[in-house]
Amino acid sequence: MDAEARPTLPPYEPRDPNLPAALDGIRIVDFSHFIAGPMCTMILADLGAEVIKIENAARGDDFRGFRPFLAGESTPYLWTNRNKMGIALDLSQAAAREIAVDLIRTADVLVENFSKGVMERFGLGFAAMRTINPRLIYCSVSAYGRDGAMSERLGFDPVVQAETGFMSLNGFDDQEGVRTGPAVMDISTGMMAAVAVLGAIVARQRSGKGQQVEVALYDTATLMLGFHAMNYLATGKNPTRFGNRSIDSVPTGVFNAADGALYIACANDRTYRRLVVDVFGRMDLAEHPDFVTNPSRVAHREELTEIIHKILASDSCENWAVKMQKAGVPAGVARTVEGAFNSAEMADRKIASSIPHPTAGEIPNIASPLILRGTPVVDPVAAPTLGQHTAHVLSRVLGYPGDRIDALAASGVIRK
């Protein structure tokens, strides 16, 4: 990545060091890779859990191979592995599996997203691990669940978008459905897995027992259909694509101003009146029988859209957005990613910052969206390099002596 092309980011502002974190004292052994599992464990790490990420000693998480690279480190990998310690084991060797078992004995939570049967082949399945640690919460993230006819199928975010009908709702009605650019099903599945783990932690406080937790990409994708799924089940009417518009409220959608576009959302008659009277100064549009109610506006969508476009052409999208926001009309400029990260909104929320990295120097950081005033998320620490904390974990967590660690490294059981 061209360093000169990178945006300049402010340093991260540290949290109050006197405040505790929500998950202080919780240890998570993380066998997950790519996005969904690591997203789950990163959320838990941000909340203060100690996450020990176990990677393949030869190549690490396959996500490390995804471009672009920053000083040799994959930026997609950096994105989803913040606040974790990383160790590298060759689980094909019995000595490495012994290390994994030793860690699991000390753990509160195990998270994995291997294909069905992989953890069992390593001797690390739920049935075996619950015997050595009855308090263990064992979270499995998969594409189609661990049971049923589809349990052995490999899954991929856009494939699940297609299968569940999610893709059929995205795009314009005169074109084929499109997948989302970001991996929303992986991300949302990771979020759901974190919620499930937190629920199991609370349940363990009452029962003293751990449990198995499962979250599937397919199930989450069905949830992500939103109320459109419920509407279909209630009416039998198949929902279709409607682009940037709303099928229920007008004016809602993308509208062109003099220099660009903005998104306006008028979900009811009150908001519409604010738009046309308080922002546009057009009382005639508020009282016109074709536009006075939402059903009438839906029926005359094209006529009203043309009028609004003509009005908006007189000023910039940024100026219109400010006027609408002041009037209580939900509106925002339609920006690129670059435009968003250079916007006043992004700066106000302090989302992007710069944090240290052991080999890359400084790397970008995107703040956790979780805000807990009494137990704030922990200060961000960059994702580990491959095997960065192997010696530390084996020594400090498991109490292995230095000569044993050296011997394990020499035999290829670990990478440090």
pLDDT digits (tens, 9 = 90+) for 112-165: 999 999 999 999 999 999 999 999 999 999 999 999 999 999 999 999 999 999
Q: Is the pLDDT of residue 223 over 60?
A: yes
Q: Which residues are catalytic?
A: 186
How far is the C-alpha of 108 from the C-alpha of 307, rounded, in Å? Answer: 60
Question: 247 pLDDT band (50/70/90 cuts)?
Answer: confident
Beta-bridged to residue 254, according to DSSP, are 263
Using a pLDDT cut of 70, give the percent of the chain over it: 99
pTM of the model: 0.95
The DSSP call for residue 248 is: S
pLDDT of residue 153: 94
Asked whether the beta carbons of 86 and 385 are under 8 A apart, the reply is: yes
pLDDT of residue 200: 98
Mean pLDDT across 14-28: 98
Q: Is the pLDDT of residue 1 over 80?
A: no
pLDDT of residue 14: 97
Beta-bridged to residue 139, according to DSSP, are 111, 213
How far is the C-alpha of 195 from the C-alpha of 190, rounded, in Å? Answer: 9
Asked whether the beta carbons of 199 and 44 are under 8 A apart, the reply is: no
Spatial CB neighbours of 284, under 8 Å, sequence gap ≥ 6: none
pLDDT of residue 359: 93
Asked whether the beta carbons of 234 and 281 are under 8 A apart, the reply is: no
Spatial CB neighbours of 125, under 8 Å, sequence gap ≥ 6: 119
Alpha helices in 133-268 (DSSP H): 157-163, 184-207, 217-223, 227-235
Residue spans of the domains in the chain: they are 3-227+362-415, 252-345
Q: What phi, psi does 121 have (nearest 5°)?
A: -65, -30
How far is the C-alpha of 222 from the C-alpha of 36, rounded, in Å? Answer: 16
pLDDT of residue 2: 54
Q: Per-residue pLDDT tens for 325-375? A: 999 999 999 999 999 999 999 999 999 999 999 999 999 999 999 999 999
Mean pLDDT across 161-181: 96
Parallel, antiparallel, or unpaired: how do β-strands 27-30 and 73-74 relate? unpaired
pLDDT of residue 338: 97
pLDDT of residue 6: 85
Q: Is the pLDDT of residue 4 over 70?
A: no
Q: Which residue has the tokens 């949302």?
A: 188
Q: Which of 390, 394, 385 is nearest to 88 (CA)?
A: 390
Question: Any idea which of 13-17, 168-172, 176-180, 245-249 has the lowest mean pLDDT?
Answer: 245-249
CATH of 252-345, one of 3.30.1540.10, 2.60.120.380, 3.30.365.10, 3.30.1360.70: 3.30.1540.10
∠ CA(175), CA(143), CA(205), 5° rounding? 130
Mean pLDDT across 254-281: 97
What is residue 145's three-state secondary structure? coil
Mean pLDDT across 78-84: 98
| CATH architecture of the domain covering 3-227+362-415 | 3-Layer(aba) Sandwich (3.40)
Average pLDDT, the chain: 97
How far is the C-alpha of 31 from the C-alpha of 119, rounded, in Å? Answer: 9
44-72 per-residue burial string, b: 16 or more CB within 10 A, e: under 16? bbbbbbbbbbbbbbeebbebbeeeebbee
Amino acid at site 402: G
Evaluated on CA atoms 325, 326, 327, 328, the torsion sign reads positive
pLDDT of residue 5: 78
